[in-house]
A = this chain, B = another copy of it.
Amino acid sequence: MDNIKYDPDYVVVKAMENGVTIMGLTRGRDTKSHHSEKIDKGEVLIAQFTETTSAIKIRGKAKIMTKHGEVETD
């Protein structure tokens, strides 16, 4: 179990179709996908950046809410 001392930002992803994929990419020299989460139409995933994840890739039609505003994947 991590012993986190901070409260990192998170992003909100709402799937607009089935099978939207949210991939966590590893922090550090090796940037590879360490986890892949699938959500179906209408489902929502709220994901923090973590010690493991420094980048998040979203594939499939979705609405994404971040501190820099909203964006929709097509």
Contact = CB atoms under 8 A, between A and B. Distances in A.
- Copies of this chain, whole number: 12
Interface in A21-44: 24-25, 27-29, 31, 34-35, 37, 39-44
A14 B71 contact: yes
Contacts of A63: 71
Interface residues of A, number: 56
Contact of A56 (B4, B46, B57, B65): B46
A51 to B, nearest CB: 6
B73 A44 contact: yes
A31 B24 contact: yes
A-B complex: 4 closest residue pairs judged by Cβ atoms: A42-B74, A65-B68, A31-B35, A47-B55
